[in-house]
Amino acid sequence: MILKIKQFVIFTTVLLLISCKEEKTTLKKINGKEIPITDSIPEVDSIANFITPYRKRINQVLDSTLAYAPKNITKTDGEFNTTAGNLMADAVLELTAPIFKSRTKNNLDFVLLNSGGIRSVISKGNISARTAYEIMPFDNTVVVVSLKGKAIREMVKYLITSKKAHPIAGLQIIIDKNDSIKEVNIQGKPFDENKTYYVATSDYLIKGGDHMDFFKDHISATDTGYMIRNVMIDYFTKLDTIAPLIDDRFIKIED
Amino acid sequence: MTMNRRKFISNTTATSAFISLGGLSLNSCALNTQKKITILHTNDVHSHIDTFSETHSKFPNLGGVAKRASLVDSIRKENPNTLLFDAGDIFQGTPYFNFYGGELEFKLMSMLKYDAATIGNHDFDNGIEGLVSQLPYAKFQFISANYDFSNTIMDGHTKPYEIYIVDGIKIGVYGVGIELDGLVTKKLYKETLYLDPLEIAQDIEQKLKEDEKCDIIICLSHLGYEYQSHKIDDLKLAKQTKFTNLIIGGHTHTFLDKPTVVKNNNHTNVLVNQVGCFGVNLGKINFYFDSEKNIVADGISITV
């Protein structure tokens, strides 16, 4: 009798297991949430330790001193031109011109970047590659476009009305108290509307960034592949002291 | 379990064995039919490996891969039937990417045992060569259905979809990416062809449902959460598909208070989720299964 029950039990168990296995399951309920990765969550040591040598190497490179800034450099210390803007535009002009010349045999006339592209101040003291990452975290490259006089005129109009000190170098704009143009000079010579000019800028602006629509009318474009951040790093490496000045590249004459 | 049960039977009297076994069998049956699958996800981590500093203006003390790892571990301990996905833009955003080209990102995702990722526009930032050169460090699958890589060196390194069988539940996962033209320069993505993500999604979800008989269908999307224009986004995709249960999104760095519930083309509910960016959050979606006879008439209930 006991044996029979045992057999029955085993038999039903097998049967039940089979029937369970074959029973179709269906999606019944879904719920979802987001879990913030906060400080209360401990780190996995093996992961943290794995990252350490990678971080150390970065810090070593980024934090080695390249140059010195005797004063703070910001994009808000002038109305029409600023120390940070002048620094960036001058660096692009100085370091891109020879590359552009060797590739195309043409001379770079001037530089226009955007004020929004300067992402940080440079504080008085040592300058490192990390400084360049802070002021230019994006991987934008320098593009040289050729623009007809008409587009340059639109550009100057844009710069006068934008009320932002967009970085320029090689270009001089002098306006009167009514914001009318008194003088526009390129490479020290009066602007010639019949001429075509080579302008270095950021690939971001060519693609319509900051609504600099005059760039859409470019005749040709040469992407140098030179990242603006790397221009800054190279410029800091080349110079010992970084002390840009507010000058007369874009001024308003009040009388 | 089986071993213990046998031992238990042979060591007890027949009658009590029968009763106890009855109870056990019913329990084991119920255990077999009630199942829980957990889907974890990130998007737009953008090379953010370290925790943000305590002085960071937006995300103080948030994020960090080593912390994400322990959170994922604890969830897997609680439910081993867990999958982990990323919806693209793994690359670009910190010097880790500038210095190592994505090597560390892929190695860490492999250590966290990611199951798969789809491809974001920034994953082309070092060119298609830059992406391919880092693939040896990625021990997880790349899923992309609407980028045709056949004329590139990426050919053969992606799958349009992957099927996972977890605790007997069949999970189909496909991937869709954003139009690259205008976002990424052609010299970086080369001959990658962008195919209509909606058409592809509709084809694949049908295949996963009808041919592959998947119980859950998930879309890894780098299309973006929502655009006012006609541009395809996750919400539009959710409305115009029929079998996809969950869209894990990215690209727009959208922080949602909770996953969005959208009615699809079959008038059933779809979840659309995205967890912001930079690894400050982990998305967690649970799917509960029960035997068909226990299913209530109104179908799948979604609580968010």
DSSP B46: T
Q: Largest Cα–Cα distance in chain B?
A: 78
- Contacts across the A-B interface (CB distance below 8 Å): 199
Q: Could you tell me which residues are beta bridge partners of residue A200? A: A111, A144
Per-position b or e across B66-86, b if 16+ CB within 10 A of its CB: bbbbbbbeebbeeeebbbbbb
Other CB atoms within 10 A of residue A101 CB: 13
Instruction: Give the ipTM.
Output: 0.87
- Judged by CB atoms closer than 8 Å, whether chains meet at A37 and B256 is answered as no
Residue numbers in B near A42 (CB within 8 A):
67, 70
Question: For residue B248, which of B38, B42, B48 has the smallest C-alpha distance?
Answer: B42
The per-residue pLDDT for range B48-61, each reduced to its tens digit, is: 999 998 888 789 99
Is A26 part of the contact surface with chain B (CB cutoff 8 Å)?
Answer: yes
List, as ranges, residues 217-236 from A with C-beta within 8 Å of B: 223
Q: Are B219 and B248 in contact (CB under 8 A)?
A: yes
d(CA A203, CA A223): 8
- Judged by CB atoms closer than 8 Å, whether chains meet at A47 and B69 is answered as yes
Question: Does pTM top 0.80 for this prediction?
Answer: no
Give the range with max mean pLDDT: A30-34, A113-117, B95-99, B115-119: B115-119
Whether the pLDDT of residue A70 is over 50: the answer is yes
Nearest CB among B67, B73, B258 relative to A33 is that of B258
DSSP A78: -
The pLDDT profile of chain B, 304 residues, written as one tens digit per residue, is 344 444 443 444 333 434 444 344 444 454 457 899 999 999 999 999 999 988 887 899 999 999 999 999 999 999 999 999 999 999 998 899 989 999 999 999 999 999 999 999 999 999 999 999 999 999 999 999 999 999 999 999 999 999 999 999 999 999 999 999 878 888 899 999 999 999 999 999 999 999 999 999 999 999 999 999 999 999 999 999 999 999 999 999 999 999 999 999 999 999 999 999 999 999 999 999 988 755 444 467 888 8
Question: For residue B64, which of B49, B79, B74 has the smallest C-alpha distance?
Answer: B49
Residue numbers in B near A5 (CB within 8 A):
14-15, 17-18
Task: Please identify which residue in the block is written with the tokens 């950021």.
Answer: A202
Q: Show the beta-strand stretches assigned E in chain B.
A: 35-42, 82-86, 116-117, 141-143, 147-148, 158-159, 161-166, 169-177, 193-194, 216-222, 246-248, 260-263, 269-273, 281-291, 301-303
The per-residue pLDDT for range B233-275, each reduced to its tens digit, is: 999 999 999 999 999 999 999 999 999 999 999 999 999 999 9
Residue numbers in B near A28 (CB within 8 A):
288-290, 294-296, 300-301
Inter-CA distances, B292 with A20, A28, A158, B164, B258, Å: 12, 9, 67, 21, 29
